[in-house]
Amino acid sequence: MIGKVHSIETCGTVDGPGIRFLIFTQGCPMRCQYCHNPDTWKPNDGQDMDSNQLFEEIKKYKSYMTFSKGGVTITRGEPLMQPDFVLDLFKKCKSENIHTALDTSGYVNLDTVKEVLKYTDLVLLDIKSINPSIFKSLTSVEIDPTLKLAQYLQSQNIPMWIRHVVVPGLTDNLDDLSNLAKFLSDFTNIEKIEILPFHKMGEYKWETLGYEYKLKNTSEPTGDFIEKVIKIFKHYNPNIDIN
């Protein structure tokens, strides 16, 4: 099975538990204003990689993954734009008892990815905003597919980590944050909620690619504000790891 891959990282530590082999896929349907990997957007860029060869590389790191209770994470771009490729890799991982994690925006056709989710141990779901108009303005797409995916994961009891990026002037409205925290409180399959401060580390990529970076004058949120946001989420989700 051939897939379009942007890059790989052999010893990631922030995209799921333990030490992880990260595969960054090529292609994304969103155009998030704060994206730090805009070079993954175009689906025909990147490199062709054979899943058999890629899995042989993955197996070289199995001892590290086993020792640290880590595994393989397929991340963005948007992996579920290539569901057959992801499915093939995850089937191979499960045959070797390697933990699988999928980092997704959730903007997918649910019917096309249900088979992939049967071989997925953990989903890292990035919810940009619970406010539909903010979500659309920020990403250029509708929120409904992301929420439908979250609800399907709940129905199948597939573990989730929720990620939310706090962008001053866009996703830092306290009412919206409270509404998102309330929405998540109805789920029983969430293991962790990550509150991530906006940063500009990808700004140079936008300039290199000739894209207009609309957040040039947006400041990073303060540590005090991030702590305030974490308290909101802990209020509604007291039994979930939130950081």
Domain boundaries, the chain: 2-242
As given in the structure block, the two tokens for residue 184 are 């998540």
Tell me what pLDDT residue 76 has. 86
Tell the CATH superfamily of the 2-242 domain: Aldolase class I (3.20.20.70)
Phi-psi region of 140 (alpha: psi -120 to 50; beta: other; left: phi over 0): left
Q: Cα–Cα distance between 15 and 74 in angstroms, integer?
A: 9
The DSSP bridge pattern shows strands 20-25 and 71-75 to be parallel
Can you give the pTM of this predicted structure? Answer: 0.96
Question: Is 2 within 8 Å of 50 (Cβ atoms)?
Answer: yes
Regions of the chain with pLDDT less than 50: none
Our measurement of the distance from residue 159's CA atom to the centroid of its chain's CA atoms, rounded to an integer in Å, reads 13
Tell me what pLDDT residue 201 has. 86
Q: Which long-range contacts (C-beta less than 8 Å, at least 24 apart) are formed by 187-190?
A: 187/150, 187/154, 187/160, 188/154, 188/157, 189/153, 189/154, 189/157, 189/158, 189/159, 189/160, 190/159, 190/160, 190/161, 190/162, 190/237, 190/240
| pLDDT tens digits for range 95-119 | 999 999 999 999 999 999 999 999 9
